[in-house]
Amino acid sequence: MKAGDLYKPTRRGTSDGESTVAQVMKTWNKRDIDPDCPMSVAIIPMVQFVVWSDGQKGGTFNFPRRRFTRQYTRAEVTQ
């Protein structure tokens, strides 16, 4: 997964599923520090993406990478 990759929703039953695409903007590792124990730090892989529907920008979102990969699959590029 890298910036510029295109993904499509995995959920079936959405009327506009074919025309909706998510474009990855960036990925990074977010630190999650436990306030009760500052020595405990978790690293959460994150992804920022833009949703495009019918050529219109739908919004920019930040999801944990695990959640993103469950909801989207890589779109096949045809040339």
Domain ranges of the chain: 6-74
Per-residue pLDDT of the chain (79 residues; tens, 9 = 90+): 889 899 998 876 555 556 788 999 999 999 988 888 878 888 999 999 999 887 788 889 999 999 999 999 998 776 6
Cα gap 14→71, rounded to integer Å: 13
**If we measure between CA atoms, which residue out of 26, 33, 21, 19 comes closest to residue 2?**
26
* Residue 15, pLDDT score: 54
Cα gap 1→52, rounded to integer Å: 18
* Residue 7, pLDDT score: 92
Q: What pLDDT digit, counting tens, does each position of 63-77 carry?
A: 999 999 999 999 877
| DSSP code of residue 12 | S
Average pLDDT, the chain: 86
Q: What is the pTM of this model?
A: 0.77
- In angstroms, what CA-CA distances link 55 with 15, 29, 67? 16, 30, 24
